[in-house]
Structure 1
Amino acid sequence: MTSLITSTAVCMAALVLDHLLGEPRRMHPLVGFGKVAIWLEQRLNPRDPKAAWRSAHPLLMGSLAVFTLVAPLVLVSLVLMAVLSAPALILVEIVVLWSALSLRGLREHALAVADPLAAGELPVAREQLARIVSRQTASLDETAVASAATESVLENGADAVFASLFWFLVAGMPGVLLHRAVNTLDAMWGYRNERFLLFGRAAARLDDLLGWVPARLTALTYAVLGRTRRALAAWRTQAPAWDSPNAGPVMAAGAGALGVSLGGPAPYSTGLKQRPHLGEGPAPSAQTVLAAVTLLERGVISWLAVLTVLAFSIYLMTGTV
């Protein structure tokens, strides 16, 4: 079993790679995974009423699709853990975790929105925002753009950074691959519309399960590093009203930690969605987006610091590397 010192070192190395290189520019594994997922969904969830699989229950087909896509990744990772030597395995783990992380990517996307927003270039900010959120951005004002970008940083920080670190620490390479694959499928299929309501349910529920603990650790991290009392109050009183069991605590605690108001109505392709208000304070601005990025980065540094202290404490007590 990999020691905590080794796991912490892998996390640090992966984060350094992410800081220096960002996400893989070519042949990103998640892009390839997404293309395979699209191909499989079109065959197991066809819109043609005459298709052979049309009579099968979409919930069953969605569950089959999740298993078909995720199980081989976990199996291959388990085989690699069994056959690779320690140095080779550590290198593979670093690359896998690096490909699952998106700390630099979140910062770049946030700055791409915040910089033009601060400069008064609202159309450019809207265009950049449309690359990272699913809501309609063409009619959003400055406050709505800042709110959406802030929410994206807070929520994706939980999914693409803290959850990846958590599952690697808990279950190694199989854990991080399992979570990242399921999270990607939820992002693709987790819509509550006619096409995906049943087919995407397995991915959505499994993602909720895998994200439950990391989301609450993320919320706690935001609270400790920000306005703690406000963050905890928002988490306790406002998060339950949010439709996502994991995004609610993360964004409520994040809004409280930043001392701003998030949530509220948001336009989607299906119409205007009335969402609960989160946090308390002034409306968000371009500076709020940057503050959310800083909060996320301070959270990562704090996690690494705690892991380092724990790892060396265990080493001093047991002498085990």
Structure 2
Amino acid sequence: MAPVYMSALLPLAMAVALLVDRLGEPPAWAHPVVGMGRYLGLFRLTRLPPALGFIAGALVWLAGAVAVVFIALWLQGQLLLGLQPWASPLRLLATAALTGLLLKPLLAWRMLADEARAVEAALGESLAAGRARLSHLVSRDTAALTETEVREAAIETLAENLNDSVIAPLFWFAMAGLPGAALYRFANTADAMWGYRDEREWCGKWAARADDVLSWLPARLTALALLPPSLPALMREARCPPSPNSGWPMAAMALRLGLRLSKPGVYALHASGRSAAAGDLAAARGVARQAVAAGLALTAALAWALRSTT
């Protein structure tokens, strides 16, 4: 196969995936991330002692990771076989379209933007409705949050999940194709289900660390795609949250919008910024939309560069 075809395949598939994303999510029975969650939900490891819980959690994670990578690798191999005998532009486009359809469930920009919009709409009804809607997005207790704090949390979640749900899957797809994106989404799903400092701490410790490692570069790429006005300020503010990665896109969003974003008792990003008000969630969605376009351009260029040199 001519190198130019392989160089173009992944960038085209990324564009297809984001175009198809506008249609929404596939049904639950066909959604690979739902399947990953169901697999992880089969195991009840919290009653194990710490050392045994850690080992069991790591083994369950590794078994699931091997399975999703194998399935993604097989699917990708089947698609690439169709290009082997005759690498024409038409066949390239067909393969890119099918690859993009398989990539789509591993990223979710429209759903993320819709959830942020829904929080603002709920706040328009009442503070209680806004708190209830936000509770679907965050793990923190929303019962006592003020209207400003509800908006802050929604904007933080939008920024953090811009990495988890869009830029990081694209980055790992650029690096390793469908297996890379599938592995990342499995790691992120495992962290979302197990990576907490409660009774799940030891069985979820491997999952949390794996997600930290796989999200390290994409989180910083996401922060840059958000075009913060000051890199020194970004580097300073990103260290405020205890997570090694989530602070980067959240700090970039806070600086870009001039907002103070905080989690009471844990951190305050851009503490000198103004409080979030009506209209800021819409502004955050606009900034995130621009970052999706920038992230697509950057990861597509990475995919092209990696394969044009081989």
TM-score interval, smaller chain = 0.7 to 0.9
Match of 1:35?
38
Secondary structure (helix, strand or coil) at the match of 1:80 reads: helix
Match of 2:217?
213
Provide the C-alpha distance between the structure 2 equivalents of 1:83 and 1:313, rounded to a whole number of angstroms: 24
Provide the C-alpha distance between the structure 2 equivalents of 1:76 and 1:304, rounded to a whole number of angstroms: 25
Match of 1:129?
134
Secondary structure (helix, strand or coil) at the match of 2:28 reads: coil
Question: How does 1:183-202 map onto structure 2 within 5 Å?
Answer: 183-193=188-198, 195-202=199-206
* Residue 263 (structure 2) pairs with residue 261 (structure 1): no
**Deviation per CA, 1:233-286, whole angstroms, max 9, x where unpaired?**
432222223210000122112211111000140xxxxxxxx1121024111123
Check the 8 A contact 2:191/2:207 in 1, yes or no: yes
Match of 1:296 among 283, 288, 299: 288
Match of 1:97 among 65, 90, 103: 103
* Residue 46 (structure 2) pairs with residue 57 (structure 1): no
Question: How does 1:207-286 map onto structure 2 within 5 Å?
Answer: 207-222=211-226, 224=227, 226=228, 228-229=229-230, 232-265=231-264, 274-279=265-270, 280-286=272-278
Q: CA deviation at 1:91?
A: 4.3
Q: CA deviation at 1:61?
A: 0.7
% of aligned pairs identical? 37
Higher relative contact order (CA 8 A, sep 6+): 2
Check the 8 A contact 1:81/1:89 in 2, yes or no: no
Provide the C-alpha distance between the structure 1 equivalents of 2:191 and 2:300, rounded to a whole number of angstroms: 32
Q: CA deviation at 1:54?
A: 6.0
**Deviation per CA, 1:129-153, whole angstroms, max 9, x where unpaired?**
1111111112211101000100000
Distance 1:202 1:310, change over 3 A: closer
Distance 1:305 1:293, change over 3 A: same
| RMSD of Structure 2 on Structure 1 (CA) | 2.5
Distance 1:282 1:79, change over 3 A: same
Which consecutive residues of structure 2, in runs of 5 or more, have no partner in the other structure? 84-90
Question: How does 1:7-46 map onto structure 2 within 5 Å?
Answer: 7-19=10-22, 21-27=23-29, 28-39=31-42, 41-42=43-44, 45=45
Farther-moved stretch of structure 1 (173-182 vs 240-249): 240-249
Match of 2:87?
none
Match of 2:175?
170
Aligned partner letter, 1:182: A
Aligned residues: 293
Length-normalised TM-score, structure 1: 0.84
Distance 1:155 1:287, change over 3 A: same
**Deviation per CA, 1:292-319, whole angstroms, max 9, x where unpaired?**
111111011223345677889999xx8x
Provide the C-alpha distance between the structure 2 equivalents of 1:311 and 1:68, rounded to a whole number of angstroms: 28
Which consecutive residues of structure 1, in runs of 5 or more, have no partner in the other structure? 48-52, 266-273
Length-normalised TM-score, structure 2: 0.86
Match of 1:109?
115
Provide the C-alpha distance between the structure 1 equivalents of 2:14 and 2:144, rounded to a whole number of angstroms: 40
Secondary structure (helix, strand or coil) at the match of 1:240 reads: coil
